[in-house]
Structure 1
Amino acid sequence: MPNSQMTPGVVAGRLPADAYCENFADVQPPLGPHEAAVAADRCYFCHDAPCITACPTSIDIPLFIRQIATGTPEAAARTIFEQNILGGMCARVCPTETLCEEACVREAAEGKPVEIGRLQRFATDTLMAADVHPFTRAAPTGKRIAVVGAGPAGLACAHRLAMKGHEVAIFDAQAKPGGLNEYGIASYKTVGGFAQAEVDWLLKIGGITVETGKALGKGLTLDGLAADFDAVFLAIGLKGVNALRAAGEDRDGVRDAVDFIADLRQATDVATIPVGRNVVVIGGGMTAVDAAVQSKLLGAESVTIVYRRGREKMSASTYEQEHATARGVRILHNARPVAVHGNGRAAEVEFEYTREGPGGLEGTGETFRLPADQVFKAIGQTLDGAPAGLKLDGGKIAVTGAGRTSVPGVWAGGDCAAGGEDLTVTAVAEGRDAAEDIHATLMGV
């Protein structure tokens, strides 16, 4: 049991039972057929569509929207899945407001883009509800590939390789496949067990086995995998969490935001998850926003996000920041933690105001304190357990081209690989592209 759950003031069941159902309902309900037709009718079907360029997986957005408009959402879904096999999840969690929808011509002309994300969800949900898989496997190649990590990059890579006729074995440290989609996204963004339903649907392509509870260094070695398989794809994510480097961060009531989010995602009843009365979240990304909003939804009275730089430097999108404040979360900028105070357990967090100086971020010497019986660290994650012998770049696995590492026969993608953005959709693109490169390498094409 995490220390924060034993801290007085951090308790479960702060709200009436029916409030949890309402608070953790689907944050953006799906479009119905008529609504989807109306939304699709707004698309200009641009021949040089900027939305396609803005999509990390390069989905032909005008085509799939036209297919919806003509009453063939299943065909639209296939168009999406050809580029992004996790298009259903990406429709729910992608920051479309800063990707395809920001690039939409309607956004530039009217300030109201075509609802690309919701239309994508309508199409993918329609096909998945029909319980069919849009792709079939090619003839067996006799090649076997190991994929380490069952998150978005690993799943996308495995599916594309299986389509090509290869046999794929996925290994994952967790009890369930899915990675970030299963353990790291706010519960209200993906309700009804969708993450696991999507994995089950993806595996219907065939040719993929999944072994959970296995990780590099815990039952697996890179040398062993390289000897047993024709190629290896590493999609091990980022398991380490950065320290606050503040006095008292080991006090009861201080924990990693990613663990809190994972507890919520795996809870059969969110009302059983303890939350503080006064919650402080330190960080400026999506993990910070998800932890803060869900703390409020669980019944915390005061929730504050504190970020060391200005609002424009926050990696969480403006949309997500505004969603947080609309839920009652306060966001403070230009402050960094100095110490967590309390008699054995968190009671206050002391911060120092910051500013951008000639040498970068610096403290002003002026401090303030916030009451906090629960503190979440959301200041970024680090690669933990990279195999020896792999070249690193900025603390991540160095890659060239479509995920090739410094070790022949080993590819990498997703959050563990250097260069990409830490987005689900980017991880999917990297897994897909690595699969194509692995196939071409193994088959000599």
Structure 2
Amino acid sequence: MANGHQASGVVAQRLAPEEIAANFSDLHAPLAPHEAAVAADRCYFCYDAPCVTACPTDIDIPMFIRQIQTGHPEAAAKTIFDQNILGGMCARVCPTETLCEQSCVRETAEGNPVEIGRLQRYATDQLMAAEVHPFSRAAATGKTVAVVGAGPAGLSCAHRLAMLGHDVTVFDARPKAGGLNEYGIAAYKSTEDFAAKEVEWLLKIGGITLEAGKSLGAELTLAALQADYDAVFLSIGLAGVNALRLAQEEMPGVLDAVAFIAELRQAEDKGALPVGRNVVVIGGGMTAIDVAVQAKLLGAENVTIAYRRDRAAMPASRFEQDLAASHGVKLMFNVMPTAILGDGAVTGIELEYTRIHDGRVTGTGEKLTLAADQIFKAIGQTLEGVPEGLAIVGGKLAVTGPGRTSLDGVWAGGDCASGGEDLTVTAVAEGRDAAMDIHSTLTSC
């Protein structure tokens, strides 16, 4: 949080504890067994299912829904976990509305898709509640792999490698494993400490050692890891934060949205986090939506998202945009920040209307001012601490095929690597596929 004094409008405990608890309850209530049966009956079980093609982890969706329909949710969960070991979290946070459910034939024909995400949660929750791990380790290979970063890509990679008989050590800079699942997702999307429970369940495969509080740098070098392990997988995420490049950006009240979300996720008392009366969020992705909605849930009176392009270009899905609007968040398009106002603490922000010229955002000269006692920056993150020798493309680690970097014996995946979208489900797929390539490489030597 910001140092120094802050505007008088930024206070904690805006709402009563019971209101906070209600506001941060589960976004989508889990399906009851009869609801799951009804939802599963709506599936056409397409032979050439477009929903499978749309799933980054290639889950056999018609198969697992059929297994639910026939009363075997644990078998359905196994089908899901075969492809996506973090299927429980992905069922909660994956943008199904733009992936599998958007491709559903029911969506095309009726505008009402099969509830694939909720059915996936129903199945995975059933198996995890039984405290059963559906996989066992293969015979030990004697090979060791270091995974740097315990986020979705790292955990997915580690689990698959352990299942194949390798011994894996996972290093992470933070005290808890989980990465963005633990620290970067809106609290109402992952309730009841689910991220930590999922990690604990995943580790039941055996063969995985977690070492917290260790990141690439002085105490953990890539060269040493290469010397000590047979292979290395990097899933270090994006630790840097893009700047607004405005005067007074360091003023108290101007905050990093990612850091605020992490603090909120770890807070025992969410109401204890100070939130403004008038909040402005700069950005248009999922982080912007998450911090804006949560500011509202904490009791902020006026919350505005300011995005520099039009609605169609906004990275956050229309579902997420509508979710924000349903909570009273105002969405402004074609505006960009030009000045932060205040003397010692933020009092407002100046925005300029924009237009697109030759594909680039340009100001029109027309400006407006919004009152703001708290401003969140949600304009993207950057790669930091890249070890020497690793090629970079587009600000990320350059990878080819299943995550191979420019250094032999080093793979990468997740947000830090070039290629797919920055989604939990994509990271899981990249970690899984890299693990298979690492296994093939280690066992062919």
Query: Normalising to structure 1: TM-score of the pair?
Result: 0.99
Map 1:263-282 onto structure 2 (within 5 A).
263-282=263-282
CA distance in 1 between counterparts of 2:384 and 2:7 reads: 29
Q: Cα distance, 1:8 vs. partner?
A: 2.5
Decide whether aligned partners of structure 1 residues 43 and 5 sit closer, same or farther in structure 2, where only a CA change above 3 A counts: farther
Partner of 2:391: 391
Q: Which residue of 1 aligns with 2:314?
A: 314
1:100 aligned partner: 100
Check whether the contact 2:7–2:347 (CA below 8 A) recurs between aligned residues.
no
Mapping for residues 353-432 of structure 1, pairs under 5 Å? 353-358=353-358, 360-432=360-432
Deviations 1:205-254 (A, max 9, x none): 00000000000004100000000000000000000000011222111100
Q: Aligned-pair distance for 1:333?
A: 0.5
Partner Cα separation in structure 1 for residue 283 and residue 365 of structure 2: 20
Distance 1:94 1:379 in 2: 21
Aligned to 1:215, the other structure's residue is in SS state coil
2:343 equivalent in structure 1: 343
User: 1:223, 1:265 → 2: CA distance?
Assistant: 34
Q: Amino acid of the residue matched to residue 108 of structure 1?
A: T
One-letter amino acid matched to 1:248: Q
- Alpha-carbon separation, structure 1, partners of 2:5 and 2:280: 15
1:336 to partner: Cα distance: 0.6
Superposition pairs of residues 234-245 of structure 1, within 5 angstroms = 234-245=234-245
Counterpart secondary structure, 1:13: coil
Q: Cα distance 1:287–1:220, how it changes in 2: closer, same or farther (>3 A)?
A: same
User: For residue 434 of structure 1, what is the aligned residue in structure 2?
Assistant: 434
1:24-43 → structure 2 map (5 Å cutoff)? 24-43=24-43
The gaps in structure 1 that reach 5 residues or longer are none
Contact 1:151–1:179 (CA<8 Å) still a contact in 2? yes
CA distance in 2, matches of 1:10, 1:153: 37
| Count of residue pairs brought into register by the alignment | 445
Q: Report the secondary structure of 2:346's partner residue.
A: coil
CA distance in 2, matches of 1:328, 1:308: 20
**How far off is 1:290 after superposition?**
0.2
Structure 2 contact 153–235 (Cα < 8 Å) conserved: yes
Give, in angstroms, the shift of residue 15 of structure 1.
Answer: 0.9
Alignment of 1:214 onto 2:214: yes
User: Contact 1:4–1:254 (CA<8 Å) still a contact in 2?
Assistant: no
CA distance in 2, matches of 1:342, 1:7: 9
- 1:219 alignment partner, SS class: coil
Question: What is the distance in 2 between the residues matched to 1:220 and 1:157?
Answer: 19
User: 1:276, CA displacement in angstroms?
Assistant: 0.3
Within-5 A mapping of 1:242-261: 242-261=242-261
Question: 1:63: how far off?
Answer: 0.1
Report the residue type matching 2:368 in the other structure.
F
Range with bigger deviation, 360-369 or 153-162: 360-369
1:271-305 Cα offsets, whole Å, 9 max, x none, are: 11110000000000000000000000000000000
Aligned pairs for 1:128-167 within 5 A: 128-167=128-167
AA in 2 matched with 1:375: I
* CA distance in 1 between partners of 2:419 and 2:432 (Å): 16
C-alpha separation in 2, matches of 1:247 and 1:371: 17
Moved over 3 A (4+): 4-7
**Deviation at residue 132 of structure 1 after TM alignment:** 0.6
In structure 2, the CA distance between the partners of 1:369 and 1:6, relative to structure 1 (3 Å rule), is: closer
For 2:4 and 2:22, locate their aligned partners in 1 and report how far apart those are by CA, in whole Å: 25
Give the match's secondary structure for 2:279.
strand
Once the two structures are TM-superposed, the CA of residue 359 in structure 1 deviates from its matched residue by 5.6
CA-to-partner distance for each residue in 1:317-356, whole Å, 9 max, x for gaps?
A: 0000000000000000001110101011110100111001
Match of 1:288 in 2: 288
Q: Is the 8 A contact 1:4 1:10 kept in 2?
A: no
Note the C-alpha offset of 1:4: 7.8
* One-letter amino acid of the counterpart of residue 206, structure 2: G
Report SS of the residue matched to 2:43: coil
**1:203 equivalent in structure 2:** 203
Quote the Cα distance in structure 2 between the aligned partners of 1:360 and 1:252.
Answer: 31
Aligned letter for 1:396? K
Q: 1:314 to 1:359 in 2, by over 3 A?
A: closer
**Structure-2 change in CA distance of 1:4 and 1:254 (3 Å):** farther
- Secondary structure in structure 2 of the residue aligned to 1:331: strand
Counterparts of 1:138 and 1:82 in 2: how far apart (Å)? Answer: 15
Q: What is the CA distance between 1:84 and its match in structure 2?
A: 0.1
Which stretch shows the higher mean deviation, 358-367 or 116-125?
358-367
Q: Which amino acid aligns with 2:18?
A: D
Assess if the C-alpha contact under 8 Å between 1:247 and 1:338 holds in 2.
Answer: no
Residue in structure 2 matched with residue 227 of structure 1 by the alignment: 227
2:288–2:305 Cα contact (<8 Å) kept: yes
Quote the Cα distance in structure 2 between the aligned partners of 1:249 and 1:365: 21
Shift of 1:95: 0.3
Output the amino acid matched with 1:96.
T
The match for 2:110 is 110
Contact 2:284 2:307 in 1 (8 A): yes
Q: Which amino acid aligns with 1:213?
A: G
1:306 positional shift: 0.2
* Separation (CA, whole Å) in 1 of partners of 2:119 and 2:144: 37
Superposition RMSD in Å:
1.0
CA drift of 1:7 comes to: 3.9
Cα deviation 1:93-126 (Å, max 9, x = unaligned): 0000000000000000100000000000000000
- How far off its partner does 1:420 sit? 1.2
Q: 8 Å contact 2:148–2:233 — kept in the other structure?
A: yes
Aligned to 1:328: 328
Specify the SS of the correspondent of 2:188.
Answer: helix
Amino acid at match of 2:243: A
The runs of 5 or more residues in structure 2 that have no matched partner are none
d(CA) in 2 for partners of 1:284 and 1:335? 11
How far 1:2 sits from its partner (Å)?
2.9
| Counterpart contact for 2:74–2:127, Cα < 8 Å | yes
The corresponding residue for 1:52 is: 52
Q: CA deviation at 1:3?
A: 2.8
